Amino acid sequence: MRPLQGIKVVTFEHAIAAPFCTRQLADLGARVIKIERPGTGDFARNYDERVSGLASHFVWTNRSKESLTLDVKQPQALDVVHKLLADADVFVQNLAPGATQRLGLDYASLHEKYPRLIVCDISGYGLDGPFRDKKAYDLLIQSESGFLSITGSENKPAKAGCSIADIAAGMYGYTNILAALIERDKTGHGKHIDVSMLESMVEWMSYPLYYSIDGQTAPRQAGASHATIFPYGPFLASDGKTVMLGLQNEREWKNFCETVICHPELTTDARFSSNSRRVGNREELTQIIVEAFGALTAAQVIERLEQANIANARMNDMHDVWNHEQLTARHRWTTVRTTAGDVPALYPPGQTAADEPRMHAVPALGGNTEAILHELGFNASSIKDMRTTGTI
């Protein structure tokens, strides 16, 4: 039995944050019914066509769900929504600010009718405050949260290469829902969860915030290197390949000097006698390391780093990750069905095939509409009328 088997989740979701949240619930066995606009659906369906004609974002965040199309501006559609919510455990939404209030689907309205329902609102800035109605996209929240100010190289800020603000908000939605389900077992009552992308990202920014507390200098933009520890970052080998390495303490610094770059005299060099001094003399030390690595291939550098017990990694691209030997050895890949055929998918972290996480199909737009309506008691004639009026 999967941990969330028997839990029913109804969603008004689009883009990444809320779909990523509810996909985690589906992985654990929850039934997730995704309500989409007829004809177009979740706009993330059309971000690209990279997965045999399907959108990469959508395939990633929507497996194991059911898709029901409804035009919620029509009264009959709201009747369907309330029939779904009557025995639902969780309602998740990330529509535009104020949208659910206008539909009478905000927590205050729903709690009176469904006191055990857990309502999770995911938004850019939260449901109140001066920024409540401000549009929020992932890159904008990366900027507003200060993330861009410490990422990239000097005077050249760079965004994260994936939707980090959406992912952060989605994961806090997911963990808060799990906690609310446990709490409901004790109290018998549902709960309101208000997750903002801004607060999720600012939580993840706590280290640089504390580092620069009381007006102190913030971490510098250091590209792929660590801003406050050195050497810690990418270095080029003679074959043009990049090796990532990181030192954490003085024992590792000694090993690095003696075994990796073969300059044991540097262990007593006052310029490099502590991490703060190495950071302060970063350019001089970089030149020494680059010259040492200039006579070695990336494989030889990694071999020496392993001998010295220094943390290291390869600079993999997406093709390397698809074929990563560690993921293969641990049997981390399976497949999920889509309308374009089977596609590979990573098992949820922490779960294995033995746990039987739900790895079911990515739904076609409205692919479950008729089955869900029949389940709710609508007959074929009623469903036909709803199609005629554009309700579904």
d(CA 11, CA 67): 10
What is the bridge-based pairing of β-strands 333-336 and 343-346?
antiparallel
Residue (of 132, 202, 207, 122) closest to 166 by Cα position: 122
- 342 and 273 in one domain? no
- 303 and 338 in one domain? no
Concatenated DSSP letters of 112-171:
HH-TT-EEEEEESS-SSSTTTTS---HHHHHHHTTHHHHSEETTEE---SS-HHHHHHHH
- 250 and 160 in one domain? no
> N- to C-terminal Cα distance for the chain?
33
In a domain, 90, yes or no: yes
CATH number at residue 263: 3.30.1540.10
In a domain, 2, yes or no: no
d(CA 248, CA 387): 63
- 190 and 333 in one domain? yes
- 126 and 42 in one domain? yes
Q: How far is the CA of 261 from the CAs of 43, 133, 265, 304, in angstroms?
A: 52, 55, 11, 9
- 380 and 263 in one domain? no
- 150 and 105 in one domain? yes
- 139 and 106 in one domain? yes
Range of the domain at 252: 232-315
- 332 and 310 in one domain? no
As a 3-state breakdown, the chain gives helix, strand, coil percent values, each rounded to 5, of: 45, 15, 40
Concatenated DSSP letters of 325-346:
HHHHHTT-EEEE--TT--EEEE
Overall pTM surpassing 0.85 (yes/no): yes
Domain end among 315, 336, 368: 315
- 337 and 287 in one domain? no
In a domain, 223, yes or no: no
Domain end among 269, 288, 315: 315
pLDDT at 38 (0 to 100): 97
pLDDT at 154 (0 to 100): 87
In a domain, 340, yes or no: yes
Structural domain count of the chain: 2
Per-residue pLDDT of the chain (392 residues; tens, 9 = 90+): 899 999 999 999 999 999 999 999 999 999 999 999 999 999 999 999 999 999 999 999 999 999 999 999 998 999 999 999 999 999 999 999 899 999 999 999 999 999 999 999 999 999 999 999 999 999 999 999 999 999 999 889 999 999 999 999 999 999 999 999 999 999 999 999 999 999 999 999 999 999 999 999 999 888 899 989 999 999 999 999 999 999 999 999 999 999 999 999 999 999 999 999 999 999 999 999 999 999 999 999 999 999 999 999 999 999 999 999 999 999 999 999 999 999 999 999 999 999 999 999 999 999 999 999 999 999 999 999 999 999 99
In a domain, 97, yes or no: yes
- 135 and 241 in one domain? no
Residue 242 falls in which region: left (phi positive, over 0), alpha (psi -120 to 50) or beta: beta
Domain end among 292, 315, 338: 315
In a domain, 363, yes or no: yes
In a domain, 333, yes or no: yes
In a domain, 1, yes or no: no
CATH number at residue 135: 3.40.50.10540
Residue (of 207, 231, 230) closest to 219 by Cα position: 207
DSSP three-state, residue 24:
helix
- 59 and 21 in one domain? yes
* Lookup result for tokens 């350019």: 283
